[in-house]
A and B are shown apart, each in its own frame.
Chain A
Amino acid sequence: MADYTTSEMMTVAAARMLGNGTVCFVGIGLPSTAANLARLTHAPEAVLIYESGPIGTKPNVLPLSIGDGELATTADTVVSTPEIFRYWLQGGRIDVGFLGGAQIDRYANLNTTVIGPYDKPRVRLPGAGGAPEIAAMAGEVLIIMSQNTRAFVDKLDFVTTAGHLDGGDARKRAGLPGKGPTAVITDLCIMRPDAETRELVVTELHPGVTADQVREKTGWDIRFANDVVETTPPAANELSVLRALLKRTAEAHGTAT
């Protein structure tokens, strides 16, 4: 029995993708947890930027909302929302966009808008937020999502945010400046886009996870790399820092059980 959860494995694996010194535009939720874990472990010089305006923020507890005061008090500077999107994101100063999503397809396009038809949605989701431009402009995009067939779907009802569109050089043709998604980190595995087709391919399986389990939780016929490797399990330090961070956060937000 592993001494960590699949969710912890996912967060740790995602955190490892963020290099020290990287300038990262961080989405709320799982991306924010992973980015801060990176900052508190191997990437102390990572620069975290949130769309609410804090640049170089070093929160002691995770924000519950994208604009928590903790982000402002611990930032190098806080700028206005137009400035964040215009100078910092559109200006090309972001290395990595770190996103989550409600639904994803085999080309890492994201849906956060509707389930069902747009004009008569079965489920109305929150919408785009900053994601379309983050995914367009950041040097590359990391996506972190729990894996199940409702989230990993054959066809999106709505493309909110372009990943690799319909594959190949579609991003280039569409005039999207950044490289797009370079990895999708789930609670089961890590997928990366094929160098040619840009279709997501499983390159790492988390310890104890089988290929069949991944197939069962994917809404399309998921491909596997020839040389799938096992993800390195979380190190003691990664786990203890993550757990301490989540504990501090729960206490601060009054959600501790």
Chain B
Amino acid sequence: MAKICTLAEAIGEFLHDGDTVAMEGFTHLIPHAAAHETIRQKRRDLTLVRMTPDLIYDQLIGMGCAKRLVFSWGGNPGVGSLHRFRDAVEKGWPHPLEIEEHSHADLANAYVAGASGLPFAVLRGYAGSDLPRHNPRIRFISCPFTGEQLAAVPSLRPDVTVIHAQKADRKGNVLIWGIVGVQKEAVLAARRAIVTVEEVVDKLDAGPNACVLPHWVVSAVAAVPTGAHPSYAHGYYDRDNRFYTAWDAISRERGTFTAWMDRHVLATKDWESYRKVLAETGGKA
């Protein structure tokens, strides 16, 4: 049974220092509010897993929450580099970041294997790529039936997966639609799951094939309207492309980044007050 609580309570109870944390959402439904709360509560030594580390992981890395990053594509979509991610990898600021790098197909399969209770995933991948040389967790096996060489990677089993969804009902059943990404697999692969939602409703009205996460696979549900911004929530609000562009300037220098995070995240008590400050500053550096 999912606990319906505040985001601060959910992070406080279910996301701990040293955890392996997957915050998923493929461009859509990225759990920005939950990442902010993780930063506010000063979590440390996290192993962050995400197919597409974008602004939220840039923020977590720049604020010193991460010791390790497992990923397959790290950029600011449609804009360019993630400057805090690059600074950590290229110059070790604010401290060195270990990286474990995969391809999208690999991580998607690794979540499926985790959700399926299997120790590893098999895919036809990586032939000719240099990635396996630099990531000892990518290995090759022979098909026992045909002898074909296939890539094998350990399944992903996060301590906690964090996602944002459109709706939950009062029991904590969660409904997601639109670009659903890898969220279902990431939740089912994890020991614990935190879900922020646009709204908690009496009735989900989900069709029989809808992507629903039953309340008993979710640890906590917190209502955080607009909690995916500047990502989007299909049916609620569009992607804030201007913020993604603005982030390039905010994050480029350590000083402007730190000042922005202090003012917008550390000095605000929750997502609602962050949104007020953001409206005042216009999101600018």
Q: How many A-B residue pairs have CB under 8 A?
A: 175
Within 8 A of A (CB), among B58-75: 71-75
For chain A, what secondary structure do more than half of its interface residues adopt (helix, strand, loop), or is it mixed? Answer: loop
Write out the residue numbers on chain B whose beta carbons fall within 8 Å of the beta carbon of A161: 129
Min CB–CB distance A55 → chain B (angstroms): 12
Q: Which residue of A lies closest to B233 (CB)?
A: A69
- A51, CB-defined interface residue at 8 Å: yes
Partner of B112, one of A71, A86, A170, A175: A86
Write out the residue numbers on chain A whose beta carbons fall within 8 Å of the beta carbon of B78: 28, 63-65
A132 to B123: give the CA distance in the assembly, Å.
12
A82 to B105: give the CA distance in the assembly, Å.
7
Within 8 A of A (CB), among B114-128: 123-128
A129 touching B178 by the CB < 8 A rule?
A: no
Min CB–CB distance B112 → chain A (angstroms): 5
A54 to B81: give the CA distance in the assembly, Å.
25
Give the contact stretch, choosing among B180-188, B197-205, B268-276.
B180-188
B179 touching A72 by the CB < 8 A rule?
A: yes
Chain B, interface size: which category? Answer: 35 or more
B185 touching A80 by the CB < 8 A rule?
A: yes
Contacts beyond the supplied A80-B181, A81-B104, A130-B73: 14 A-B pairs with Cβ under 8 Å: A53-B26, A63-B78, A64-B244, A68-B239, A72-B28, A85-B104, A90-B124, A123-B86, A124-B86, A127-B73, A133-B105, A136-B128, A175-B148, A177-B124
Q: List 17 A-B contacts (CB under 8 A).
A: A51-B104, A52-B26, A64-B244, A65-B27, A67-B77, A69-B232, A72-B178, A78-B178, A82-B108, A85-B108, A127-B74, A129-B73, A133-B104, A160-B130, A160-B131, A174-B127, A175-B127
